[in-house]
Amino acid sequence: MRYFLFLVLLLSPPLSAQQPAPQGKVLKALPLDFEDPVSSIPEIAPTRQEPAPPVVRAIPVLPDETEPEATQPELSPIDQKPTGDDAVRLQIFLDQSDFGPGIIDGKIGQFSELAVQSWNEVQGHPSGSWTAVNIAARREVPNPFAVAVVPNHAADWVNPNLSFKKSEQAKAKKMSYRSLAEFMSERYHTDIPYLIELNTSSKINTLKVRDTIIVPNIAAFQIEDLTGAAFKADETLSQRHAVVDTKLNQIRIYEANPKALVIADPNAPASVANQSLIAAFPITPGKPQFIRYGKWEMRNAVELPVWRYDQQLLDTGKRSNNALHIPGGPNNPVGVLWCGLNKPGIGLHGTSDPETIGRSQSAGCIRLANWDIVRIPKLLRPGCSVEIR
């Protein structure tokens, strides 16, 4: 099946997977609570628009040509953990439903299983069931792959000469991607090894603007839409709350009403649909000595934040006067969005290395992939509670 698709793609006119900006802008944020105030950030009032539904883009097929029956992909059993294209399909469905499975790579691991359990909880299905979610994924994502064009503006976000030294990074204009491959992998919620698997290493390692590649068929994370603008509290979103589970490595977001049904054991059967649970994403918690357990309030947030690099703070938790200021960008260690809590120096933030989510600890905060953290302002606003447990 995959080889047939590659042949089709080579003979077909390219189809851009670039998508228009979602209905309603990604909401912005305020400065880090341990940074100097940034007075030049314009504010954006709350928006009540519902998020746009996932856009499914089909891989082009030659006119008047049908695939031989023998080349049709074999579907996974509907009541079992999916494999192959069905696994990619399921990960895309979960991601676009705000139940993040981590990197889209066709491998159903811990984060994909946690996402399935969370989705089942909301729907009122048994926690370990695969049937309903596989049926939904096949219905909503008929084509798990698409053809994407490397956009012209990608060059504005790529700097192959970006230093790895903090002293040199502090002099840069922004913490850009280091390659077009990195730009495209994060754009489509995956990693470079999976893009190589779909396209070959020679293709991915020599990408140029306007090249076309096969990607997971998912709504793109559009770094170009981020401006650093601020957002305000909202009477509904500020009443919601989040629970950060540092053992499961997951953040779960709940409506204020109806009262949240917080299930401590995700393997426990849900007797009723938990309609208060609206989203869940994989996270990496801080080092145990720096985790601040308890219930906190989100005070502010900032898009494309400047990171105050203080080695003493990272080592001991105490601030020094010898710090560097690392500019914003996707390769900033705190990613593309910071959500500060009322405990100074800790918060929710993005990452420069999405492949390390759940695998390596941060200095003391709660880290999400950039494509997940940018959704937080649609779900939570300053004033909401964040419980770290």
**Percent of the chain surpassing pLDDT 90:** 63
* 219-245: average pLDDT: 93
- Nearest residue to 48 via CA among 295, 172, 232: 232
Over 50: is that where the pLDDT of 136 sits? Answer: yes
* 88-103: average pLDDT: 98
Split at pLDDT 50, 70, 90, the class of 258 is low
* 152-162: average pLDDT: 97
Computed over every residue of the chain, the mean pLDDT equals 81
Tokens of 243: 């629970």
* 188-211: average pLDDT: 98
* 184-211: average pLDDT: 98
Over 60: is that where the pLDDT of 314 sits? Answer: yes
* 363-388: average pLDDT: 93
pLDDT-wise least confident of 78-87, 226-235, 347-356: 226-235
**Percent of the chain surpassing pLDDT 70:** 74
Over 90: is that where the pLDDT of 238 sits? Answer: yes
> What is the C-alpha separation between 340 and 30, in angstroms, rounded?
9
Domain residue ranges of the chain, discontinuous segments joined by +: 230-388
Selected residue with higher pLDDT from 14 and 364 = 364
Strand-pairing partners, residue 282, are: 250
> What is the C-alpha separation between 21 and 4, in angstroms, rounded?
32
* 202-226: average pLDDT: 97
- What's the pLDDT tens digit per position in 10-58? 333 333 344 333 333 222 222 222 223 333 333 433 433 443 444 333 3
* 227-249: average pLDDT: 91
> What is the C-alpha separation between 197 and 114, in angstroms, rounded?
25
pLDDT-wise least confident of 12-16, 142-146, 251-255, 326-330: 12-16
The sign of the dihedral angle between the CA atoms of 85, 376, 185, 110 is negative
Amino acid 72: pLDDT: 52
Split at pLDDT 50, 70, 90, the class of 259 is low
Q: Which residues of 68-99 are buried (b: 16+ CB within 10 A; e: fewer)?
A: eeeeeeeebeeeebbbebbbbbbbbbbbbbbb
Phi, psi of 371 (to 5 degrees): -70, -15
Q: Is the pTM for the entire model greater than 0.85?
A: no
Amino acid 280: pLDDT: 98
* 106-130: average pLDDT: 96
Amino acid 286: pLDDT: 79
Over 70: is that where the pLDDT of 241 sits? Answer: yes
The domain 230-388 having CATH identifier 2.40.440.10: the answer here is yes
- What's the pLDDT tens digit per position in 266-277? 555 545 678 899
* 73-102: average pLDDT: 95
- Nearest residue to 30 via CA among 341, 280, 365, 358: 341
Helices (H), 280-385: 311-316, 370-373, 376-379
For residue 258, say if its preceding peptide bond is cis, omega within 30 degrees of 0.
yes
Top-ranked range on mean pLDDT: pick from 54-68, 82-96, 219-233: 82-96
* 220-234: average pLDDT: 91
Q: What angle do CA 360, 363, 367 make, to 5 degrees?
A: 60
Confirm if 309 and 323 have CB atoms less than 8 A apart. Answer: yes
Confirm if 226 and 368 have CB atoms less than 8 A apart. Answer: no
> What is the C-alpha separation between 161 and 376, in angstroms, rounded?
31
Confirm if 283 and 242 have CB atoms less than 8 A apart. Answer: no
Token look-up 């990604």 returns: 26
Tokens of 82: 């999916």
| HEC assignment per residue over 45-109 | CCCCCCCCCCCCCCCCCCCCCCCCHHHCCCCCCCCCCCCHHHHHHHHHHHHHCCECCCCCCCCCC
Strands (E), 258-314: 277-282, 294-303, 307-309
* 211-230: average pLDDT: 94
**Half-sphere exposure for 280 (CA within 13 Å, toward CB):** 26
